[in-house]
Structure 1
């Protein structure tokens, strides 16, 4: 019934639920997940911030890692433009059968913007749209706390001489913590909701 499921993600904390929901649906129907992040352009066609594209790449890579862990086929894409237009265009161009997305983004203005994007997608899409209310509370907001959990996770897995060479970054309610160990570089994902650490085995962010 469903062969291609599109999960738009902005890398915000709340998108964790829509990602999990989309992966569950894809796994049930043996479908391919398409992780798409759209970088909004400003009024003159310029990017909103210099960090916008790297953040979008991290967002889709997070979905890729989760999909790989769940044994779900996945492709990723980062586009630039008007979010709802790019999402609808991607769905048309890639034969998407279902779109799964959240009803909220980050906080403040982003929350309003993501809500309006979802509303437009629901009204305009030619395929079913599953909306997921995003209400999970983030428990770990301090990068130092995430780094300590990651270090302990690596040590439990048998790694030694574990150090944190750069500050962790958070996307989709997870901290991605780069580590240096006796066996070389390593990434550990720390769930910002459950505090669970996991050594990553799929494609990682830089």
Structure 2
């Protein structure tokens, strides 16, 4: 099915969601993930360029950590240039079987993964391009049951497979899921947009 899946990232929630989707596909297909951040330095002030670069590099580290948690082979790359041309060239060089991209709606149109970039990449590469989009205010984790499912999976991945998960609460853009096991109490914080989870040990 797939052996190499390319995921361009830019540090946005929708790109994080694309990483989640790519990881799910990679696990099913026994494929490897390649996360790519493109530094688009054209017409940017130094401060803006620095902020975007830091955000992009953190997104790559996040993708690596998430892949490692699931035992999925992962490579991360930083490149410079025009996003469309660079993503297309990297797709060919990598011989990727699939590109998974998040696309922004009205927000973030000047960022790397706006809709026109995804569409243009799709026209330039010979492999499928799968796009995921979060509309304004849309969340990928929109129910308590989904939050509990993600919390259980994260707890299992971090060695707390026997933890009892309680009812979650939603705080702004984050779900908080309490859990307990023989080692203590935990809160699992889940980003409602991306589904990214972190376990906080309460003692």
Q: Taking structure 1 as reference, are residues 71 and 44 closer, same or farther at Cα in structure 2, changes over 3 Å only?
A: closer
Q: Does 1:17 align with 2:17?
A: yes
**TM-superposed deviation, 1:38:** 0.8
Task: Count residues in correspondence.
Answer: 156
State the distance in 1 between where 2:108 and 2:59 align: 20
What is the aligned partner in structure 2 of residue 71 from structure 1? 71
For structure 2, the residue ranges without an aligned partner over 5 or more in a row are 142-158, 160-172, 175-186
Quick check: 1:29 aligned with 2:29?
yes
For normalisation by structure 2, the TM-score amounts to 0.65
How much does 1:16 deviate? 2.5
Q: What is the CA–CA distance in structure 2 between the aligned matches of 1:72 and 1:112, rounded to whole Å? A: 25
| Structure 2 SS opposite 1:110 | coil
1:42-57 mapped onto 2 (5 Å cutoff): 42-43=42-43, 48-57=48-57
In the TM superposition, residue 51 of structure 1 has moved relative to its aligned partner by 2.4
Q: Please tell me whether residue 192 in structure 1 is matched to residue 191 in structure 2.
A: yes
1:90-121 deviation line (CA, Å, top 9, x unaligned)? 11111111101112178243369611110101
CA distance in 2, matches of 1:23, 1:56: 18
Instruction: For 1:51-200, list aligned pairs within 5 A.
Output: 51-104=51-104, 107-110=107-110, 114-135=114-135, 136-137=138-139, 190-193=189-192, 197-198=198-199
Q: Is the 8 A contact 1:15 1:134 kept in 2?
A: no
Higher relative contact order (CA 8 A, sep 6+): 1
Structure 1 portions without partners, runs of 5+: 140-156, 158-172, 175-187, 200-206
Structure 2: how far apart are the matches of 1:124 and 1:29?
A: 25
2: CA distance, partners of 1:138 / 1:63: 17
TM-score, with normalisation over the residues of structure 1?
0.64
The superposition leaves residues 25-72 of structure 1 with CA deviations (integer Å, 9 ceiling, x where unpaired) of 111111110001111121499795222322211011111111111111
Is 1:99–1:130's contact at 8 Å kept on the other side of the alignment?
Answer: yes
SS in structure 2 at match of 1:49: helix
